[in-house]
Structure 1
C-alpha cells in the first residue's frame, strides 16, 4: 500500500492506494500550524500499513540530499511553517521510504505519467492560484539542482496599461506578484471569478503568463506545458495566452501546435496526489 501527501499552502490532501495507484481512501485537511496539521496526518496514516510515502510540498523546500536541512520547508511566506523538518517529523512516526519534492513537481510527474503529457518525455506544470509555482519533469525526473525551480518569481515586463505595483512580499512585481489570484484581487478590488467578463483583466493576465511560458520554453523546451490552479479555471485565458505566446515568440523557434502545447491538466485536481503516489512507489 502506498501513501501520499499533497501539502498545499491552503490544504493537505492525504491518500492511500494500492500498487496500481487505485486510491483506497483520501482526505483533505486544512493547512494550519505544523502541530495541528501533522496530528491529523498521523491520525489518517495510522489506520494503514503503508510501504512508502510520497510527499509533494509547498515551498520553498530543501531537496538537496547532501544538505543538512534536506526534507525541510525553508523560507516560506507561511511563517508558522518556516524551517519545519517535514521529512524528519514523518520519519519519526513512520519508518518507511519517502519521496520528497515540490507540489508542482509532483503535479508535473502525475500529468507526464497519466495525464495531458502521457507518452511524452518532458512537461512543465504551472499552477496559477493563491501563488504561482512551476515544476518540470525531464526524461521522467523532476528538475532539481542545489534547490528546485521557483518559476513563479521570474521577472516579466510590465503591461503598458498596468499600474499595479505588484503583490509579492519578496520581489514586488515578479510573475507571482502580478499574475497570482491575490494580485488580480488587489489590482481590481474583486476576486477573479467576479471579473470573468472583464476582457482587460484577462488580456493583462495573458500578457504576463505568455511571457513566462516563452522564458520556460526557451530555457527547457518542454514537450507540453500544463496550466492549472484556480485562476486557470477561467478557460478564456487559454486562447489569449496561446495568441500572446505566438506573438512574443515571433517564429524564433518552432514549437508544437499551440492547441496541443499549452493545455489544461487532464488529471484536473488529482495531478498532485497522483504524482505523490508515483514518488512513493519510486522511493521503494
Structure 2
C-alpha cells in the first residue's frame, strides 16, 4: 500500500481530508540542516498524475502554485507536487519516517517502474474512476472532423491503428478498458454501450447509431471519436476536443493530424475548430 505524506487538509478539494493535519501546524521558523536535500528529493520523484492550473498558497494566499494537485511518488511514498513549495517557503515539518527514507536514499528518489506506477494509480484512483471521468468531464467545445469515404470495419480498423500510432489509444493505458458511449435524449448525456464486438465493427455499423469511442492520450487525458453519416457512403468522423486545456489540446490535435496523414487517400476534407477556452 502506498504511504502518503504532505496531504494537508487545506490543499485542493480532491486531496483534502478533514482528518489530515493542518499545514499551519507544520510551519517552522527555520528548516532542517538538510532541507536542501529534502527539496531535491521532492523534486526528483516520479509524477503519476498531472493537474492543470494552479492553486493559491493556502497560508498567505499571495502566490499561485502551478500544477497544485499533481501527485508524485518514489514508489513507496506519494506526495502532492505543491508540498515542495511549503517546505521551501515555510519549512513545513514532515514525519520522521519519511525523512529517514529520504536520508537513506541520499536525497534522490529512485526511478519508479511503469508496473509500480500503474499499481499506485489503480490503488489511488480505482479502475472504475477513469471510465467515470470520461462520462462526467465538462469543458470547452472544439472538434476535428474528417470526411471519409467508404468507412467499413476494415478502414475503421486502419483509422484506429493510425490513431494508436499517433498516441491516441482505444484502451486505457493503465486499465486496458475500452469505453464506448451513445448519446441519449434530454439531459441524460452519454450512456455506456455494452457491445462485445471490436470497436472498428461498432463504429462502422450504421445500425449502431452515433456511438462514441474514447481515445486516451494519457491516463487522465482523452478525446473521443464518433461516426456520423450525413449522406450515402460518406462518413463524418468527429473528434471532440471538449475539456482539453493547453498544452494537451495542441498535442492531441497534432496526433490527429499525424493520423489523418496516414488516411489521406480516403479523406475528402476536414474541419478543425479550436474553440477558445471559457
Q: Tell me the TM-score normalised to structure 2 length.
A: 0.28
Which structure shows the bigger proportion of residues in helix conformation?
A: 1
Choose 1 or 2 for highest CA Rg.
2
Higher relative contact order (CA 8 A, sep 6+): 1
Q: Tell me the TM-score normalised to structure 1 length.
A: 0.28
